Amino acid sequence: MDWKIVFSDIDGTVLNSKHELLTSTIEAVQKLALKNIPFVLVSARMPKAMKLILDEMNVKMPMISYGGALVLDEQNQILHDDKINKLDTKAIIDEIELLWPDDVVINYYSDDNWFVKDEDNKAVKREENITNVKASQADFKELINKDILPNKILCMTKANISSKIEAVLQEKFPQLNIVRSSDILIEIMNKDVSKANGIEVLLHHLNMIPAQAIAFGDNYNDLDMLKFVGRGVVMKNAPEEIKKQMKYITKSNNEDGIYEYLQKLDLV
């Protein structure tokens, strides 16, 4: 196959367990760029946080943000922008605050802005340290009233209750896409938002087809992307449940997994 483009998740895939880029990954991305093969980050993160990684890689590439809800070309022009409507936004925030007032920290992402109710919250500070982006304090009701609607709502919670919260919200809000991106994070977007759909938008823009694409991922919200492209590659550090579903597995995010697999394909 003549591979034309590479997609990759960020946390647990492009970044190692210390949330750092491996030198080998930077080298791989730069070698791909010399061959005019884009390396596109596909993440639940906001564009600002993704751009910091691209800057460290010293490349300018398109981005698929918020799990596919916001797609930007390499000039940061919007190709696709999908936001949760006012009614659903208000309803799901009210439900979370009613059922888990002390167990869930709500994060409200709109365009390239990250809003929280308490910017001093420990979970928020942890996320700031991971992403190197600062949250802004805001009243969610005021945002909704001003029609500043979210591309994504992120719930930070505890590992022992995340699956239960996910199940409850999925049942009550079937019109939304609700999925865990880790054992403590639950992503909420519109129903038709997925990494695969975000990839489809960008491929159409670039006049490419899924069969020409490779994707790397490590978690539940990567599965649709991995199954959509011509070659979906899962990291060794992924949960066993995910690895069982995929044919191609590479080394972990701490062991040059991306570089080694691209080397096997003679791309780097």
Condensed to tens digits (0 to 9), the pLDDT of residues 233-267 reads 999 999 999 999 999 999 999 999 999 999 999 99
Rg (CA), the chain: 18
By residue count, the chain amounts to: 268
Average pLDDT over every residue of 81-104 = 97
Q: Do 42 and 193 touch, CB atoms closer than 8 A?
A: no
Q: What is the pLDDT of residues 107-158, one digit of tens each?
A: 999 999 999 999 999 999 999 998 899 999 999 999 999 999 999 999 999 9
> Once rounded to an integer, what is the mean pLDDT over residues 168-176?
97
Nearest Cα to 180, choosing from 197, 155, 198, 199?
Answer: 155
- Whether the per-residue pLDDT at 193 is higher than 90: the answer is yes
Q: Mean per-residue pLDDT for 180-207?
A: 94
CATH 3.30.1240.10 fits 87-186, yes or no: yes
Whether 213 shows a pLDDT value over 90: the answer reads yes
**Digit-coded pLDDT (tens) for 10-64:** 999 999 999 999 999 999 999 999 999 999 999 989 999 999 999 999 999 999 9
Measured in whole angstroms, the distance separating CA 233 from the mean position of its chain's CA atoms is 16
Tell me what pLDDT residue 140 has.
Answer: 98
Token output for 84: 């949760």
Write down the pLDDT at residue 179: 87
3-state secondary structure the chain: CCCCEEEECCECCCECCCCCECHHHHHHHHHHHHCCCCEEEECCCCHHHHHHHHHHHCCCCCEEEHHHCEEECCCCCEEEECCCCHHHHHHHHHHHHHHCCCCCEEEEEECCEEEECCCCCHHHHHHHHHHCCCCEECCHHHHHHCCCCCCEEEEECCCCCHHHHHHHHHHHCCCEEEEEEECCEEEEEECCCCHHHHHHHHHHHCCCCHHHEEEEECCHHHHHHHHHCCEEEEECCCCHHHHCCCCEEECCCCCCHHHHHHHHCCCC
pLDDT at 182 (0 to 100)? 83
Q: Does domain 5-81+193-264 have CATH number 3.30.365.10?
A: no
Domain with CATH 3.30.1240.10 in the chain: 87-186
Q: How confident is the model at residue 67 (pLDDT cuts 50, 70, 90)?
A: very high
pTM (predicted TM-score)? 0.90
What are the residue ranges of CATH 3.40.50.1000 in the chain? Answer: 5-81+193-264
* Beta carbons within 8 Å of 89's beta carbon, 6+ residues apart: 144, 149, 150, 153
Among 264, 254, 266, 265, CA closest to 24:
254
Q: Is the pLDDT of residue 1 over 90?
A: no
